[in-house]
Amino acid sequence: MAGTGMEGFEEDGFAVARGLFSRAEIDALCAEFTALRDAGPVPGHFEPRASAADEAADPLQVHPRVMHPHRISELSLRFLLDPRLGEVLKTLLGEEVLAAQSMFYFKPPGARGQALHQDNFYLRVEPGTCVAAWIACDVIDRDNGGLEVVPGTHRMDLFCPEEADIELSFAREYVPPPPGLEPVPVVMEPGDVLFFNGSLVHGSQPNRSADRFRRSFIGHYVGRSAERIGGYYDTLTMDGTPVALPESEGAGPCGTEFAAVGPH
């Protein structure tokens, strides 16, 4: 498929590095987040609003995403700053790399997806854009709500989003594919990493599988030449040294969440 080499990143806006992390490394990362979930809420990072015993609960209220886990988990910080990611990112960005954010998605069976969107709509990196490194922690395909990307949209400006379908997306923003372009699925194995441009339109459908989670760890990065970024985000060199950048306007967390809904 297109997008599987560095030339794919330039042409299509995304590239997949297969097997960048070992299965043992991914198992350790998943164990870290299972332990975090079992330990209970971490205000500002992981805040379930329902119990697994509540069969009628929205799955994403039982297993919400974890925001900025690198601030509370040494292992997450190591993944965010991993030299293997840094090497690819430096090639893609053409300069020194700064880490800006981490997230972990559990996406259990029945969970809604995230409507098509552009990451730099939230980070507001100026000038330029961000790059995501999306690490698969399970076998990921269309059935369990894998990512879909719209090749070529990385060359376009940020779109003004419409409101998403609350039955399909936990986030409010939706960017329809431009005329003549269609989303394509990215099938991944544990340890694969999808790198994509912050202007690339991408998203996911609900997890329609009966018993398969779709776990993923995501880092966002910017080039050292970036002059501004949203105040919600960190900027760290790949050795973990903080770098202060002025705050850009209009930024916020990736995906403005709808209020809780009923079972899916």
**Is the pLDDT assigned to residue 255 strictly greater than 90?**
no
Whole-structure pTM value: 0.94
d(CA 115, CA 168): 7
**Is the pLDDT assigned to residue 178 strictly greater than 70?**
yes
Question: Which of the two residues, 263 and 49, has the higher pLDDT score?
Answer: 49
Per-residue pLDDT, 177 = 96
Mean pLDDT of 178-195: 97
Per-residue pLDDT, 5 = 57
Per-residue pLDDT, 254 = 86
Report the range of poorest mean pLDDT among 1-5, 102-106, 180-184: 1-5
Mean pLDDT of 34-46: 95
With H, G, I as helix, E, B as strand and everything else as coil, classify residue 109: coil
Return the closest-CA partner of residue 260 out of 94, 30, 120, 64.
64
Mean pLDDT of 221-234: 97
| Domain membership flag for residue 244 | no
- Total of domains in the chain: 1
| Domain membership flag for residue 1 | no
Q: What percent of the chain has pLDDT over 70?
A: 95
Q: Which domain holds residue 224?
A: 6-48+60-237
Token representation of residue 137 = 């922690």
| Domain membership flag for residue 250 | no
Element (H, E) at 15: strand 14-17
CB atoms within 10 A of CB 23: 11
Find out whether 67 and 80 touch, Cβ atoms under 8 Å.
Answer: no
d(CA 17, CA 32): 23
d(CA 159, CA 117): 9
Please report which confidence band the pLDDT of residue 26 belongs to, taking 50, 70 and 90 as the band edges: very high
pLDDT tens per residue across span 231-245: 999 999 999 999 999
**Is the pLDDT assigned to residue 216 strictly greater than 50?**
yes
pLDDT tens per residue across span 70-123: 999 999 999 999 999 999 999 999 999 999 999 999 999 999 999 999 999 999
**Is the pLDDT assigned to residue 230 strictly greater than 90?**
yes
| Close Cβ partners of 171 (under 8 Å, ≥ 6 residues apart) | 114, 115, 117, 164, 255, 256, 257, 258
Please report which confidence band the pLDDT of residue 257 belongs to, taking 50, 70 and 90 as the band edges: confident
Per-residue pLDDT, 264 = 40
Between the CA atoms of 182, 187, 192 and 195, what dihedral angle is there, to the nearest 10 degrees? Answer: 0
| Close Cβ partners of 34 (under 8 Å, ≥ 6 residues apart) | none
Per-residue pLDDT, 6 = 65
Q: Give 258's DSSP letter.
A: P
d(CA 251, CA 122): 5
Can you tell me which residue has the tokens 């409101």?
163
CATH number of domain containing 230:
2.60.120.620
First to last CA, the chain: 32
Token representation of residue 16 = 């997949």
Residue 188 pairs in a beta bridge with 140
Per-residue pLDDT, 1 = 36
Per-residue pLDDT, 260 = 55
pLDDT tens per residue across span 126-163: 999 999 999 999 999 999 999 999 999 999 999 999 99
| Domain membership flag for residue 231 | yes
With H, G, I as helix, E, B as strand and everything else as coil, classify residue 216: strand
Between the CA atoms of 79, 62, 67 and 70, what dihedral angle is there, to the nearest 10 degrees? Answer: -30
| Domain membership flag for residue 245 | no
Q: What are phi and psi of 12, to 5 degrees?
A: -110, -20
Please report which confidence band the pLDDT of residue 54 belongs to, taking 50, 70 and 90 as the band edges: confident
Kindly report the average pLDDT of the chain as a whole number: 94
| Domain membership flag for residue 55 | no
| Domain membership flag for residue 155 | yes
| Domain membership flag for residue 21 | yes
Q: What percent of the chain has pLDDT over 90?
A: 88
Find out whether 131 and 196 touch, Cβ atoms under 8 Å.
Answer: yes
| Close Cβ partners of 204 (under 8 Å, ≥ 6 residues apart) | 107, 113, 114, 145, 146, 147, 148, 214
